[in-house]
Amino acid sequence: MSEFDAIVVGAGPAGSSAAIRMANKKLNVLLVERADPPGSKNVSGGILWGNALAEIIPEWEKDIPLERLITHKGTTFLTKDSSISIDFRSTKFLENHSGYSVLRARMDNALANSARKAGAMVVTGVTVDRVAKEEGKVVGVEQDGEIITSDAVILAEGANPRVAIDSGLRKPIGDQDVAIGVKQIIRLPENTINERFNLKGSEGFAGEYVLSYLEGEAEAGGFLYTNKDTISIGAVISSSKLREDGQTHSYDIMESFVQHPHIAPLLEGGKLEEYSAHLVCEGGIDSVPRIYGDGYLIAGDAAGFSFSNGLMIQGMNYAITSGIAAADTVIEAKERGNFSSDSLASYERKLEDSYVLKDLKNFRNIDKVTWSRVTHRAIPKIAENLLYSMYHETGRPKKHLMQMILESSRDSGMSKSQLILESYRMMRRM
pLDDT (tens digit, 9 = 90+) per residue, 191-218?
A: 999 999 999 999 999 999 999 999 888 8
172, amino acid identity: P
What is the pLDDT at residue 66?
A: 95
Judge: domain 4-57+104-172+286-364, CATH 3.40.190.290: no
380, amino acid identity: P
What is the pLDDT at residue 352?
A: 96
The strand pair at 146-155 and 296-298 is best described as parallel
Total count of residues recorded for the chain: 430
In terms of Cβ atoms closer than 10 Å to its own Cβ (0-12, 13-18, 19+), residue 330 is buried
Q: Rounded to an integer, what distance in angstroms lies between the CA atom of residue 223 and that of residue 324?
A: 28
Q: Rounded to an integer, what distance in angstroms lies between the CA atom of residue 360 and that of residue 285?
A: 5
Q: What sign results for the dihedral spanned by CA atoms 240, 245, 246, 248? A: negative
CA distances from 388 to 86, 265, 400 (A): 16, 22, 14
What is the pLDDT at residue 302?
A: 97
CATH code for residues 178-281 = 3.30.9.90
Q: Rounded to an integer, what distance in angstroms lies between the CA atom of residue 264 and that of residue 130?
A: 44
8 A C-beta contact, residue 210 and residue 77:
yes
- Grouping H, G, I as helix, E, B as strand and the rest as coil, residue 14 is helix
What is the pLDDT at residue 428?
A: 58
E-strand stretches of 282-396: 292-293, 296-298, 307-308, 313-314
Q: pTM (2 decimals)?
A: 0.91
What is the pLDDT at residue 314?
A: 85
CB atoms inside a 10 Å sphere around CB 172: 11
What is the pLDDT at residue 92?
A: 85
Cite the residue boundaries of each domain of the chain with CATH code 3.50.50.60: 4-57+104-172+286-364
Torsion of CA 401, 426, 377, 177, to 10 degrees: 160
CB atoms inside a 10 Å sphere around CB 129: 15
The strand pair at 4-9 and 146-155 is best described as parallel
Cite the residue boundaries of each domain of the chain with CATH code 3.30.9.90: 178-281
8 A C-beta contact, residue 263 and residue 213:
no
Q: Rounded to an integer, what distance in angstroms lies between the CA atom of residue 285 and that of residue 304?
A: 8
What is the pLDDT at residue 320?
A: 97
Which residues in the chain show pLDDT less than 70? 310-311, 400-430
What is the pLDDT at residue 84?
A: 94
